[in-house]
Homo-oligomer: A and B are copies of this chain.
Amino acid sequence: MGTDKKTLRIAVIPGDGIGKEVTPVAQAALDKATEGMVDLDYESFDLGAERYLRDGQILPDEDLERIKGKDAILLGAVGDPRIKAGILERGLLLKLRFALDQYVNLRPSKLYRGVTSPLSDPGDVDFVVVREGTEGLYCGAGGAIRRDTPAEVATEVSINTAYGVERVVRYAFQLAMRRRRHVTLVHKKNVLVNAGDMWQRIVDRVAKEFPEVDHDYLHIDAATIFLVSQPSRFDVILTDNLFGDILTDEAGAVVGGVGYSASGCINATNDYPSMFEPIHGSAPDIAGRGLANPTAAVLSAAMLLRHLGFDGPADAIDGAVEADIEESGSTSRSTDQVAADILARI
């Protein structure tokens, strides 16, 4: 006994700022929730702003290859004001999402009891955004000519494929079957007529395979209104890479702050490891002072376990977080205190 316990190999990328403070808490939650069930074999990767400033490396090929061999990735946060916008994002975070073909960016939004929403009457908010993760305006196509002259032209190209859209659409409908069976496609098909029309056609076609699932459509601008005026109407929101980025941050605000929002970058066919991270950033303004709330990182750990089929331990973490927030969500606590409180409940 014990010797044939399964081992999970997990790449850990704490990253920058508060990423370094919240990731160890997520690991502690993983350890405690899986105790006796599975061995966790962590390998930590020194990637992020400090590494880049030290030796100019963002994501060495060798690291990427090692990461490809893992079962999952736990990521903290990446970003530092000393580094020009785009370098770490495109070179590390987006590079991982694209190289590992993490085509489903899964972002649950739930208003926990004990958390105060900025909305006076939010209702029962519990939805998931299924954001496409490997296409659209994030693919890095585009360029500039006559840079820094009055005649400069800069372009950004959104590339969308039936291949890429269909797989994430199908994922959203499958997820809806396990939830309240409602999918809302969000796009801007009255302006982005090429991509929007393709998304709508594919949704209509895939929907026929799921007769029990309702679906409707909202323009992105209307969706940002409903997130504020009636967030409880949503179950599964299905959208493209950029619209998903925007909606999930707004949703984070609606459920009381991105400090409670976890996310998974998922390769649903398991060709490569999936990656789990809080949606908050590295928060350099509060970093290093023990003030960061590790809740979203801990919730990411639960998503990681659920993705790998460990529903029991995932439920244990989710339950612990839920109970902790209900009891102490409105008190101001240090990182260590929140960590201790959650861990005690797992």
Q: Write the A247-264 contact mask toward B (1 if CB under 8 angstroms, else 0).
A: 111101110011000000
Expressed in whole angstroms, the Cα–Cα distance for A221 and B198 within the complex equals 25
Q: Which B residues are CB-close (under 8 A) to A143?
A: 194
Bound CA span A84–B298, Å: 45
Copies of this chain: 2
Find out whether the CB atom of A166 lies under 8 angstroms from the CB atom of B144.
no
With a CB–CB cut-off of 8 A, which chain B residues contact A246?
A: 220-221, 224, 246
Residue numbers in B under 8 Å from A53 (CB-CB): none
A8 contacts chain B at the CB level, 8 A cutoff: no
Q: Point out the residues of chain B lying under 8 angstroms from A224, CB to CB.
A: 224, 246-247, 249-250, 253
**Count class of interface residues, chain A:** 35 or more
* Closest B residue, CB atoms, query A240: B156
Q: Give chain A interface residues in 143-183, CB to chain B under 8 Å.
A: 143-144, 146-163, 166
| CB within 8 Å for A249 and B229 given contacts A155-B194, A156-B195, A195-B154 | no
Nearest-CB distance from A191 to chain B (Å)?
6
Please determine whether A192 and B137 come into contact, CB atoms closer than 8 angstroms.
Answer: yes
Interface residue? A1 (CB, 8 A): no
- A237-296: which residues lie under 8 A (CB-CB) from chain B? 242, 245-250, 252-254, 257-258
- Which one of B152, B201, B252 contacts A162 once the chains associate, using CB atoms below 8 Å? B152
With A155-B158, A156-B194, A190-B86 known to touch, is A225 a contact of B253 (CB < 8 Å)?
Answer: yes
Instruction: List 16 A-B pairs, Cβ < 8 Å.
Output: A85-B196, A89-B190, A89-B191, A118-B120, A137-B191, A142-B192, A152-B198, A155-B159, A156-B194, A157-B157, A221-B250, A224-B247, A225-B249, A225-B252, A228-B250, A246-B246
